[in-house]
């Protein structure tokens, strides 16, 4: 697998983040590796943040560490000592790595170290690439030193200032030799100062480098010269005036925090601001190409935009179909789906994600009061019941994703009744609040799981991060789903729903 690629693509991974953040960071890394024809290196392990039982129980199966000590973060220092603990688990527990490797060149850090006869014990605990120890290899046949060469992409090179990072420069720029612009020249290159170009610049919001498509259409349509031009389409018109069309994602409910790939959008950008990942770094010959630092914050899925629809759709396929949950997660979620149908009297059932935990501690929750939060959830589920009655009558819709086909199960089950039970996924652990949920008609994961489920699944189910995967897969099968738009957990559920063929009207991410 490695020999079919140019070399390795490595990242500094922020292992102190939760799994859903790590998931879309890894998704972006795999995209970059494919663009650059390099084998992507991902962390060997991640950290599960909590144990469903006493910490010593999980520590009997997975290595327990202090999160702050392992990752170099002080975020958890003020918490009770047992809440500072985490469990180091193989990344292959979190998604189907075997399936991913059938479509992408991907190895773990420990794989890379073994390939170079370096002890796997030197893998850093915070996910940062060690530019010293990771490059002190030994040839297994001759015992002579082997030092993989390294080229590091400085973090500020990635999309410094108002640069717009794309997968590859558009054809119009390749014809003009636009890739010859140096890092120092980015932003100083002058776009053709036509009347339309100046009008588009004037329409841009201060502090942004791209123009939304609705505004682009309005400005182009208001230009008399453009109105009198013949044929060619808006992409040609933009190109003639020094601008290019980009393809990316709008995010569920317009939120970038979800990192979902279910809302395809277009944007316009001045040609002078574009920087192609392929043009900038595809020529590097060193064995390891390393991206320093983190690039996931305030960026689109994939940490870049695309210059063709085909490239964006290929990434959508990667996220929805190549990154699969493990078989045991899918199988257990299927059983939980059927049990919820039984609890709902054989009808469709609805679900919501109530994120509390660190969100409550950081004042990021929808409602600070637990009772008010649940009341908000139930209000939207009532609206969801009305939507399901409408959906049940057809016709069904599907997300605008590759291979998207509507799931027909809404036609096979009756819509929910007024007093039906509903499913709640939550990280709330206060016994009083959990009892309140059940009194209000909620079903929790622990109400559905059996001893046989735990035995068949195995010890990882004791870890909340793994249990959360099962909950996400279960939420994806709900007839209606409601959650907070600023949660990457919700974004993962929406991606799963799109891959399963859920009707987009049956999910609401609320701000």
Q: Sketch the domain layout of the chain as residue ranges.
A: 2-148, 160-281, 327-510
Residues 10-22 have a mean pLDDT of 95
Per-residue confidence (pLDDT) for residue 174, from 0 to 100: 64
Instruction: In whole angstroms, give the CA distance from residue 456 to residue 421.
Output: 27
Q: Compute the distance between CA of residue 461 and CA of residue 362 in angstroms, rounded to an integer.
A: 27
Is residue 138 over pLDDT 90? no
Average pLDDT value for residue range 445-469: 97
Q: What confidence score (pLDDT) does residue 394 get?
A: 84
> Average pLDDT for residues 374-400, to the nearest whole number?
95
Asked if pLDDT for residue 490 goes beyond 70, the answer is yes
Q: Which long-range contacts (CB under 8 A, 24 or more apart) does 405-414 make?
A: 405/501, 406/501, 406/503, 407/500, 407/501, 407/502, 407/503, 409/479, 410/348, 410/479, 410/503, 410/506, 413/341, 413/346, 413/347, 413/348, 413/479, 414/346, 414/347, 414/348
Token couple for 487:
């949660």
Percent of the chain with pLDDT over 90: 80
Average pLDDT over residues 216-236: 69
Cβ within 8 Å of residue 13, ≥6 positions away: 22, 25, 26, 42, 43, 127, 128
Taking the alpha carbons at both ends of the chain, their separation in whole angstroms is: 43
pLDDT at res. 363: 61
Give the pLDDT mean for 35-64: 96
Residue 176 has pLDDT above 60, yes or no: no
Selection from 50-59, 135-144, 360-369 with the highest mean pLDDT: 50-59
- Dihedrals φ, ψ of 151, to 5°? -125, 120
Identify the pLDDT of residue 227: 46
Q: What is the pLDDT of residue 460?
A: 97
- pLDDT tier at 417, thresholds 50, 70, 90: very high
- What mean pLDDT is predicted for residues 135-146? 85
Assign 222 a pLDDT band (cuts: 50, 70, 90).
low
- Looking at 184-193, 231-240, 402-411, 459-468, which range is the least confident one? 184-193
Helix (H) or strand (E) holding 99: helix 97-101
Radius of gyration of the chain (CA): 25
Q: CA separation (Å) from 390 to 299, 348, 458, 486? A: 36, 13, 41, 28
Spatial CB neighbours of 12, under 8 Å, sequence gap ≥ 6:
127, 128, 129, 290, 291, 292, 293, 294
Give the pLDDT confidence score for residue 362 in this predicted structure.
Answer: 56
- Poorest-confidence range of 178-187, 284-293, 301-310, 394-403? 178-187
CATH class of domain segment(s) 327-510 = alpha beta
What DSSP designation does 414 have? Answer: P
Res. 5 pLDDT band, cuts 50 70 90: very high
Predicted local confidence at residue 317, as pLDDT: 98
User: Does the pLDDT value for residue 366 go beyond 80?
Assistant: no
Share above pLDDT 70 across residues of the chain, in percent, rounded to a whole number: 92
Indicate whether 178 pLDDT > 50.
no
pLDDT surpassing 80 at residue 182: no
Range among 184-188, 192-196, 255-259, 348-352 with highest mean pLDDT value: 348-352
Closest residue by Cα to residue 482 from 384, 367, 360: 384
**For residue 208, is pLDDT > 50?**
yes
pLDDT at 232 over 70: no
When pLDDT is cut at 50, 70 and 90, the band that residue 192 belongs to is low
For the ranges 106-110, 139-143, 223-227, 236-240, the one whose mean pLDDT is highest: 106-110
The pTM score is 0.93
Q: What was the pLDDT predicted at 186?
A: 41
What average pLDDT does the segment 347-354 reach? Answer: 96
């Amino acid at each position: 697998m490695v020999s079919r690629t140019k070399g390795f693509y490595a990242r500094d991974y922020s292992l102190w983040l939760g799994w859903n953040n790590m998931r879309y960071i890894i998704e972006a890394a795999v995209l970059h590796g494919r663009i650059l024809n390099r084998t992507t290196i991902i962390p060997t392990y991640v950290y599960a943040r909590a144990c469903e039982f006493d910490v010593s129980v999980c520590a009997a199966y997975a290595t327990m560490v202090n999160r702050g000590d392992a990752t170099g973060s002080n975020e958890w220092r003020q918490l009770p000592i047992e809440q500072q603990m985490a469990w180091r688990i193989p990344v292959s527990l979190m998604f189907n790595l075997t399936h991913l490797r059938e479509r992408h060149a991907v190895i773990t850090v420990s794989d890379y170290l073994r390939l170079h006869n370096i002890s796997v014990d030197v893998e850093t605990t915070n996910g940062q690439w060690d530019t010293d120890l990771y490059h002190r290899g030994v040839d297994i046949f001759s015992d002579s030193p082997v030092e993989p060469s390294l080229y590091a992409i400085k973090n500020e090179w990635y999309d410094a200032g108002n640069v717009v990072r794309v997968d590859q420069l558009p054809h119009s720029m390749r014809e003009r030799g636009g890739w010859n612009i140096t890092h120092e020249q980015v932003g100083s290159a002058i776009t053709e100062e036509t009347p339309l170009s100046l009008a588009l610049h004037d329409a841009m919001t201060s502090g942004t480098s791209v123009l939304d498509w609705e505004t682009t259409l309005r400005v182009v349509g208001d230009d008399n010269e453009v109105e009198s031009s013949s044929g060619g389409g808006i992409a040609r018109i933009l190109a003639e005036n020094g601008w290019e069309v980009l393809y990316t994602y709008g995010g569920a409910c317009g939120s970038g925090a979800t990192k979902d790939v279910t809302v395809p959008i277009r944007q316009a950008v001045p040609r002078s601001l574009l920087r192609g990942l392929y043009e900038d770094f595809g020529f590097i010959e060193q064995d390891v190409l390393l991206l320093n630092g983190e690039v996931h914050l305030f960026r689109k899925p994939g940490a870049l935009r695309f210059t063709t629809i085909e490239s964006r759709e290929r990434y959508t396929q990667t996220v929805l179909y190549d990154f699969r949950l493990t078989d045991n997660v899918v199988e257990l979620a299927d059983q939980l789906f059927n049990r919820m149908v039984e609890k709902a009297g054989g009808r469709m059932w609805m679900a919501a994600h109530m994120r509390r935990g660190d969100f409550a501690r950081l004042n990021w929750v929808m409602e600070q009061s637990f009772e008010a939060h649940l009341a908000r959830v139930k209000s939207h589920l009532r609206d969801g019941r009305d939507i399901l009655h409408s959906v049940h009558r057809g016709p069904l819709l599907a997300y605008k994703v590759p291979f998207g086909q509507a799931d027909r199960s809404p036609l096979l089950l009756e819509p929910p009744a007024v007093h039906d039970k509903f499913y709640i996924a939550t990280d709330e652990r206060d016994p009083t609040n959990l009892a309140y949920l059940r009194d209000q008609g909620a079903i929790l994961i622990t109400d559905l799981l059996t001893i046989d489920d735990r035995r068949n699944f195995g010890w990882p189910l004791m870890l909340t991060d793994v249990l959360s995967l099962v909950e996400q897969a279960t939420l994806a099968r709900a007839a209606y789903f409601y959650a907070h738009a600023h949660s990457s957990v919700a974004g993962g559920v929406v991606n799963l729903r799109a891959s399963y063929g859920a009707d987009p009207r049956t999910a609401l991410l609320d701000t």
